[in-house]
Structure 1
Amino acid sequence: QVISGTVTAPMTGKIISIKVGKGEQVKAGQVLCILEAMKMENEITAPVAGVVREILVSEGASVSEGDPLFVIG
């Protein structure tokens, strides 16, 4: 899900791996992080191409559905 450049968590879970850095150029479909939910690993991907402006979570963080994860500009 994207709301004006913000990538949000599609489900409640735990961030187990962040695959990009702040300032990194990303392509649409590129994996931003891995979210573990119900013992399954889910790839959270960039919905659009751009630059990672902010990383709003850290590895090991628990997130709820709708929580902002990244800002892409």
Structure 2
Amino acid sequence: MKNYEITVNGKVYQVSIKEIAGELNKNKEKEPTSSAKSNENQSDEVTISAPMPGRILSVKVQENQTVNAGETVCLLEAMKMENEIVASVDGVVSQIKVHSNQAVEAGEVLLLITPN
């Protein structure tokens, strides 16, 4: 994984990127067993993390809800500003790890999304 810092409209976000193109080709070559499929599904979840320390103002989604890339999933207050945390992929929210009024650190996992 590689870590990057990206500034969008004056807001700084820290992101981790994992290259999966080579892994996808390897998986296509082998026919997985049913147990291997369940392990793949778990590792396919996309992690949405806090880009900076702050406090969760609200969680805008529920578990098992379908979300689209770019859709707001949480509001994070940091430095007296409200920051929209958005889904990075289309998918289904598989797990929510935070709640309203919870303090979070930079990089802390907020929720998991299983891509479509």
Q: 2:52 matched to which residue of 1? A: 11
Q: Structure 2 residue aligned with 1:30, among 56, 71, 96?
A: 71
Larger helix proportion of the pair: 2
Q: Distance in 2 between matches of 1:2 and 1:13?
A: 19
Query: Which structure 2 residue ranges, 5 or more long, are not aligned?
Result: 1-14, 18-44
Which has the larger Rg? Answer: 2
Query: Which structure 1 residue ranges, 5 or more long, are not aligned?
Result: none
Q: Which has the higher contact order (CA 8 A, sep 6+)?
A: 1
Q: 2:30 matched to which residue of 1? A: none
What is the RMSD computed on CA atoms of the aligned residues? Answer: 1.3
Larger strand proportion of the pair: 1
After superposition, the C-alpha distances for 1:4-51 in whole angstroms (9 at most, x for unaligned) are 511000000000011000000000000001000000000000000000
Provide the TM-score with structure 1 as the length reference: 0.95
After superposition, the C-alpha distances for 1:36-69 in whole angstroms (9 at most, x for unaligned) are 0000000000000000000000000000000000
**Within-5 A mapping of 1:1-73:** 1=15, 4-73=45-114
Aligned length: 73
Give the fraction of aligned pairs with identical amino acids, expressed as a percent. Answer: 48
4+ residue runs over 3 A deviation: 1-4
